[in-house]
């Protein structure tokens, strides 16, 4: 019997020899790595499924919020139409306009809160992957100004939210970052979250080290 034939016989008949040979050749480790890769791949698929469910829930929330905004807009238009059609005295008109102003302010405030909450929800997971937890954000008063920031041992992160990011927002967060830097004597990261950003804001942000994160990639007209 040749060596080759003897080797094949050992492989076919001797289980202990096969095990020792696979261990020597590292085949066992390869099989183990393949099993580990399969486990990790299945875990990644589970994560993708979870994120898909989260995105669907976010889409549902946004849809509900848009419906509320449409209802606010309809009510506001009805009030304007009523003012046009009803003849009232100057005193009554002044009182009506004042009430309308309060209503408009309330609607604007509600809209701002809805947009801010929506944007924070949209960016929460993205920022968490960058090591930023929005739940750690605190409101700090510096020189009479209230500033939202995340404080860390080695840095502070100033966060601003705006539906459409403009140059004024970039200048504002840059001033706030400078105030915090002087007070805490640490590096300050500047982050603005928005639906979109105009070109002037984007250009200005590059020079001032401000990060602009938007949900819609096309900038608004300046």
pLDDT of residue 109: 44
Q: Which domains does the chain have, with CATH numbers?
A: 133-214 (3.40.1350.10)
pLDDT given at position 174: 93
pLDDT 10s digits, 104-128: 455 444 444 555 666 667 777 777 7
CA dist 17 and 37 (Å) reads 27
**Predicted confidence band at 96 (pLDDT cuts at 50, 70, 90)?**
low
10 Å CB burial of residue 29 (0-12, 13-18, 19+) is exposed
What pLDDT was estimated at residue 108? 44
Distances (CA, A) of 184 to 9, 136, 158, 209: 76, 17, 13, 19
Helix, strand, coil percent content, the chain, rounded in steps of 5? 70, 20, 15
pLDDT of 195-214, one tens digit each?
Answer: 888 899 999 999 999 999 88
């Amino acid at each position: 019997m040749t060596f080759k034939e003897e080797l094949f016989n050992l492989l076919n008949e001797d289980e202990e020899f096969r095990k020792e040979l696979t261990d020597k050749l590292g085949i066992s480790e390869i099989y183990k790595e393949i099993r580990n890769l399969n486990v990790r791949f299945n875990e990644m698929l589970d994560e993708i499924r979870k994120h898909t469910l989260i995105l669907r829930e976010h889409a549902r929330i946004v849809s509900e919020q848009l419906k509320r905004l449409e209802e606010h807009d309809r009510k506001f238009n009805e009030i304007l139409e009523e003012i046009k059609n009803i003849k009232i005295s100057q005193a009554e008109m002044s009182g009506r306009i004042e009430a309308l102003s309060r209503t408009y302010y309330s609607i604007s405030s509600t809209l701002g809160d809805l947009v801010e909450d929506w944007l924070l929800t949209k960016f929460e997971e993205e920022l968490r992957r960058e090591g930023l937890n929005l739940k750690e954000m605190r409101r700090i008063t510096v020189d009479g100004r209230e500033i939202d920031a995340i404080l860390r041992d080695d840095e502070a992160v100033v966060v601003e939210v705006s539906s459409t990011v403009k140059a004024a927002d970039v200048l504002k967060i840059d001033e706030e970052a400078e105030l915090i830097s002087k007070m805490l004597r640490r590096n300050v990261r500047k982050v603005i979250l928005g639906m979109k950003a105009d070109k002037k804001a984007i250009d200005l942000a590059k020079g001032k080290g401000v990060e602009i994160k938007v949900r819609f990639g096309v900038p608004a007209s300046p």
